[in-house]
Amino acid sequence: MEDRALVELALRMRERAYAPYSGYRVGAALLSASGQVFTGCNVENAVYPLGLCAERVAVFKAISEGEHHFTAIAVATENGGTPCGACRQVLSEFSPDLRILLVDAKGHVRETSLRALLPEPFGPRDLQAVR
């Protein structure tokens, strides 16, 4: 899948976000190594900690469908913001070299990588060290 198509999916998912409290709508489109795309949007809750970010929705959908390796994710926000720390950690569990396409509401795209955003993630190897 081309980057532009992934970005367009993320922008469409942003429209589906449920963000009545923050007003910060986020959409995500995650490309698996097999070529499948999994989408997500943020879902807020009146009990704030119970909400879920768009990126993690997409990852969890993918995992539930048997995908565990990803090559790219497009994340659409109002201002082209980066994934939060929790999303970075979850993404790193499966694809530490993930390409990240950040898109703002006007469609401007900036590319970065998960390694740039989370250079020293906690991972499975850290748990193996204590066994």
Q: Above 80 in pLDDT, residue 130? A: no
Whether residue 129 is predicted with pLDDT greater than 80 in this model: the reply is: no
The pLDDT score that the predictor gives to residue 97 is 95
List the binding residues for Zn(2+): 53, 84, 87
Q: Is the pLDDT of residue 1 over 80?
A: no
Tokens for 100, please give them.
């990240």
pLDDT of amino acid 131: 60
Separation between Cα atoms, residue 33 and residue 55, nearest integer Å: 17
How many helices (H) and strands (E) in the chain? 5, 5
Q: What is the pLDDT of residue 90?
A: 97
Range of the structural domain that residue 88 is part of: 3-128
Residue 14: which CATH number?
3.40.140.10
Tell me which residue of 72, 78, 13 sits closest to 40, measured CA to CA. 13
- Chain-wide mean pLDDT for the chain? 96
Sign of the torsion formed by the C-alpha atoms of 96, 54, 72 and 36: positive
pLDDT tens digits, 68-122 = 999 999 999 999 999 999 999 999 999 999 999 999 999 999 999 999 999 999 9
Helix (H/G/I), strand (E/B), else coil: 1: coil
User: 20-75: per-residue pLDDT in tens?
Assistant: 999 999 999 999 999 999 999 999 999 999 999 999 999 999 999 999 999 999 99
- Reply yes or no on whether the pLDDT at 3 is more than 80: yes
Detail the residues annotated as belonging to a binding site.
42-48, 53, 84, 87
Marked catalytic residue, from 55, 67, 93, 120: 55
Q: Is 92 helix (H, G, I), strand (E, B) or coil?
A: helix
How much is the average pLDDT of 12-16? 98
Active site residue 8: no
For residue 84, report the phi and psi dihedrals to the nearest 5 degrees.
Answer: -70, 170
Indicate the number of domains in the chain.
1
Q: How confident is the model at residue 123 (pLDDT cuts 50, 70, 90)?
A: confident
Q: List the one residue out of 103, 105, 100 whose CA is nearest residue 117.
A: 100
